[in-house]
Amino acid sequence: NAGVTQTPKFQVLKTGQSMTLQCAQDMNHEYMSWYRQDPGMGLRLIHYSVGAGITDQGEVPNGYNVSRSTTEDFPLRLLSAAPSQTSVYFCASSTSGRVGGQETQYFGPGTRLLVL
Amino acid sequence: AQSVTQLGSHVSVSEGALVLLRCNYSSSVPPYLFWYVQYPNQGLQLLLKYTSAATLVKGINGFEAEFKKSETSFHLTKPSAHMSDAAEYFCAVTSGTASKLTFGTGTRLQVTL
């Protein structure tokens, strides 16, 4: 299994440009999520999904859109990039997000985004 | 609402010394608690987790943590530090029925000779 994969590894954008960060998992996990990591702030939840067709907002959703059309993929879209979105983005997945909350979440290697 | 506080953004220990990384949590319902490690330019890897089965939890690489409800703490320890333990460590909590992790701000561990 490849686990959780993310592309691209690094991206530079200009303010106002749009892009999609890709995330895929091959573990048949129901739950997938996106976090951003900023210095001194830990990781903060952007959006999450408990299954195909179901998404919800996390702590910092503004400026980001998501969709979940398949179990495997959970792309994160930036419609109009801003310098404040410069960050490292991590995708994670776990077996189920519907009950318990004790499941281990598996993280991808991250995407470094620089918005100029 | 749930939250995690990690005391000390940087901790430095000598190789062979005790490692103690502090984590205190706040949760309105019984929590599930996690420690993750992040090596430079990599994603996060689970070290250990508390899911109410046992208060002393053993993880990978010789790390362990003890859940203390009275102190709302879940401190991470390792008896003898190794150079390869140098990394950033994150404490996280979930509670209720969701898997939404709330992370602390992280502690960077430096191991010196």
DSSP letter for each residue of B38-90: E-TTS-EEEEEEE-SS-SEEE-GGG-EEEEETTTTEEEEEESS--GGG-EEEE
* Mutate which: A4, A5, A43, A93, vs B, most B CBs within 10 A: A43
Closest of B81, B104, B86 to residue B35, by C-alpha: B104
Whether the Cβ atoms of residue B72 and residue B38 lie closer than 8 Å to each other: no
Q: Is the pLDDT of residue B28 over 80?
A: no
Q: Which of residues 38-57 of B touch A (CB under 8 A)?
A: 41-46, 49, 51
CA dist., res. B12 & res. A98, Å (int): 39
pLDDT of residue A73: 97
| Percent share of chain B, pLDDT over 90 | 79
DSSP count for chain B of H helices, then E strands: 0, 12
Residue pair B25/B74 in contact (Cβ under 8 Å)? The answer is yes
**Low-confidence stretches of chain A (pLDDT beneath 50):** none
Comparison of pLDDT for B5 and A95, the residue scoring more: B5
Taking the Cβ of residue B90 and every Cβ of chain A, the question of whether any pair is shorter than 8 Å is answered with: yes
> Region B16-38: what's the mean pLDDT?
92
User: Please, how many CA atoms are within 13 Å of residue B9, restricted to the half-sphere of its CB?
Assistant: 5
Is the pLDDT at B112 greater than 90? The verdict is: yes
Judge contact between A115 and A13, C-beta under 8 A: yes
Of A74-78, B65-69, B100-104, the range with the lowest mean pLDDT is: B100-104
Confidence of residue B27 (pLDDT cuts 50, 70, 90): confident
Nearest to A97 among B9, B95, B98 (CB): B98
Q: Average pLDDT over chain B, rounded to whole?
A: 92
Q: How close is the nearest chain B Cα to the Cα of A21, in Å?
A: 16
